[in-house]
Each structure stands twice: as structure tokens, then as C-alpha cells.
Amino acid sequence: MSLRIVAVAAMDAAKLEASVAQELGGVAPTRTLGSVDGLVALEWSLPGTPDEAARLRTHLGARAIPADIAVLASGNARKRLLISDMDSTIIGQECLDELADFAGLKAEVSAITERAMRGELDFEGALTTRVGMLKGLGLEALDQAYAERITLNPGAATLVATMKANGAETVLVSGGFTYFTSRVADAAGFQSHRGNTLIDDGKALTGEVGRPILGREAKLTALDEYAAAAGISRDDVIAMGDGANDLAMIKASGLGIAYHAKPVVAAEAHAAIEHTDLRAALFFQGYEAKEFVG
């Protein structure tokens, strides 16, 4: 088999080439994928086995190169389904933490969120605990949180628009809440979305979550259901996320990306974005900058 090594960085192309080529025995890049807004991407093709790919991934990851570098099998580079987490992936915030701020409980709720995303707490239990803490919070807080706090991460809209323009389905799947997934999906351009449901009495939150809860396994189920509907396999899917509840779908997909993720996620993903933005996910699929939409 052969391998594709894609490096994306906010640096001069010559410097990026020299930094990576040095670790690849002086091999020159096969292709320049282009530059956009200060980001540059280069691609190398090398012979290699899956074991060699894993070793190379570890080797490159241990080097102090300020670049996002993916080591991938050649073939089937462009995926036909994008399925992504929302909080701290497509958007820069954790919606539940921002809601908690309006109840004066952000520090307490954020601490639970952090532990859950690291895989230290059961996701469902952590979710119900945090939502329970918000019982009585007025519904106007949801509107205010979205309007004042929630922002798309750089490259989110371009990633979605470019994949859609090339025939891919795009789905936002979140352990967060449909109030936010519906709005974020619309803002970023996703075609579909799934999330959990906050229960309210018409004026305030009741502190309850609709059942069943969408957690780690439900995200994997969503991947399989959308893939089946599109008539494609798991290998045709790109899945992205940052927390432990994203691991099942990330590991099952053809290209699983950890985005500024917790260590437990980055360790098991096929590639990670730590230095650049969501447009790196397009470069990892072999898109050239001139093909980007939006």
C-alpha cells in the first residue's frame, strides 16, 4: 500500500517543506495543495504498511513541528459524509457551560463538563447532573446564550460548504441540545442535525432531559444510519470531535479527526487538528485551496 502525508501549517511553504521532509528522509512533497489565509498545505506520497503508518504518525507527532500532519492510506481520500460534534468543534464554546453562566453556576458545570469530555465521568450521568443544576432557569437565557456567546470556529462554514459542493452529506450530531444544534446547523450550513432535548414548562427549564439521551453510542448509530441512507460504508465517512463521547464515531469512520481534543481522543483518532483550523480537514482529504467554497 502507499501512504499520503498531509501537512498543514501557518508558516512559509518552504519552511514547512523543510521541517517535514527532514523527518521523511529528505523526500520532497508530491503536491502543493495551496494556501489560504496564511495556511499552507503540502502532500507527500510514500510506500508503507498500516504498521509503518502508525509508527510514522507517532514519530511525526513527537516532533516539535507547529503543523497538523496526517498520515493516511492512499485512496478514497474524499469522503461522502461529514458527521461532526458541535460543542468545542464546530463552535468554540460548550453551550451548557454558557447557559450555566446565566444561573451563576458556570464554574461548577464547566468542571463536570471537562471531566466528562476527558472520559472520567459517565456522559449520561454527567449530562443529567448538569441539566438538573439549571432547573428554573428562564427560557430567555437560551436566546441570550446563543446570541451573545456562540460563535463558529474558523473554517467551519468552508468545510461544510466545500464538502456539500462536492456531493457529500453533512450532519451535526451533538450531545448538546437541539435548541442549539438547529441554529448552529443553519449557521454553518449542515443539512441535518441531532441533539438532546431540554425539557421546559413553557417559561423555564425543568432540569430534565428528553429520553433517550444522545451519547457516545448514539453518535455511532447516527453515523451508521446516515451512511446507510447514503448507500456508503463507514470508510466513506469523516467524523470529527473533541470529547470522549465522540470516540466511537471517530474510530469507526474512514477518517476520524480529533479537533483540539482531549488526550484520550487525540490518541485514538486517525488525525488531529491542533495548530490550524477546520479547513485542515479539507486538506487532509486532498482538496486544494482553490477548491474551497466560502
- Residue numbers annotated as active site: 85, 87
- The answer to whether the CB of 194 falls within 8 A of the CB of 221 is no
Tell me the DSSP string of 67-119.
SEEEEEESS--S-SEEEE--TTTTBSS-HHHHHHHTTT-HHHHHHHHHHHHTT
CA distance 176 to 101: 16
Going by C-alpha positions, the residue among 94, 96, 130 that lies closest to residue 112 is 130
C-alpha neighbours within 13 Å on the C-beta side of residue 287: 25
H or E element: which one contains 160? helix 156-165
CB-CB neighbours of 140 under 10 Å: 11
